[in-house]
Structure 1
Amino acid sequence: MKKYLILLAFIFIVQLSANAQNKSIKQFNFMLGSWEMKTAKGKITETWLKYKDSLIGKSYRHNLKGDSVLTETLVIKKIDGNFYYCSKVSGQNDNQTIKFKLLPVKENTFIFENPSHDFPQRIVYQNKAKDELLAWVEGEKNGKKGKSEFNYLRRK
């Protein structure tokens, strides 16, 4: 009987994890649109669009004069039944795309993880409100923990 209960608990946990991954791309709709964070050096913008069964995004840094530089191209898509945040950062990782796998979603917080990446190992998006989006990157590099936050407001 005990083995049967353990097996049922295991199946239940696996099913919960699978359900988190099997949701449609619609779970990320809160990210759609253009977002902006002001900084001392200008601003950072991130724009997300829906394309087929994926979200595609671009991130730019803008200086105080208004000049901008593309810093990252992004895609959120399902690969082999799991959602991934795919990031290509200009001038890093030999210009290769790095994939971060979605972990189970908790309280409007979407954590994408790649433990083998140098930094960051986690990229997180949190749905704060209709016009507020909190994102952060975190992990370890050279034995030191680091975290950078991006408090975005929806661009009008």
Structure 2
Amino acid sequence: MPKCLSLLGLLASASVLHSAVAAETASLGSLNWLAGCWTQTNGETGTGEQWMTAAGGVMLGTARTVKNGRAVGWEFMRIEETEAGQLVFTAKPRREAEASFALLRLSENEVVFENAQHDFPQRISYRRDSAQAVSASIEGMLKGRLKKIDYPLKRVVCEVTKET
């Protein structure tokens, strides 16, 4: 039994080490699956996100929440590669201060950013469910309780207004 526990401990350590190495060598281009226009499946028309592909060391995004036909929330976002090669998610929500979140975990289909010092959220996640669906979420402690908000997104054609 002790050999079994030792092996489990070794495997767990290797997994943590692999995650740390993956975070240190993360490539911004590996997040291009997030690029495009997304509508929130449980939101009102116009609610969603739009992300540009990675270029020049940054991905730029915007988000908008519409309720009763009016924009009640929006934010500007960016995922950038620092000079040290780390990925950082920064958001500037409407009427709030800008906040940055360091890469916690990155895989082929998921990216998680965290800032334990931020009020709420402390963690921001995007998971690719398919080429046409992404699950976004924010989570953390709020008023002494763990809270998670999910944003199911589906890919849509980006709207372009034609000049008349």
| TM-score normalized with structure 1 length | 0.79
State the Cα deviation string for residues 35-62 of structure 1 (Å, max 9, x = none): 0014465452100003322100000123
Can you give the 5+ residue segments of structure 2 that lack an aligned partner in the other structure?
A: 1-12, 158-164
Deviations 1:10-44 (A, max 9, x none): 99965762343323211101100000014465452
Which residue does the alignment assign to 2:87?
Answer: 83
1:109-128 maps to which residues of 2 (within 5 A)? 109-128=110-129
Long gaps (5+) in structure 1: 1-9
Alpha-carbon distance in 1 for matches of 2:18, 2:148: 32
Alignment of 1:1-150 (within 5 A): 17-39=20-42, 41-50=44-53, 51-65=55-69, 67-68=70-71, 71-79=74-82, 80-93=84-97, 97-106=98-107, 108-150=109-151
Relative contact order higher in (CA < 8 Å, ≥ 6 apart)? 2
Q: Deviations over 1:52-74 (max 9, x none)?
A: 22100000123454x44661100
Let me know the Cα RMSD of the aligned residues: 2.5
SS at match of 1:104: strand
Aligned residues: 143
Deviation of the 1:108 alpha carbon? 2.0
- Aligned structure 1 segments of 4 or more residues deviating by more than 3 angstroms: 10-16, 38-43, 67-70
Q: What is the CA–CA distance in structure 2 between the aligned matches of 1:37 and 1:11, rounded to whole Å?
A: 37
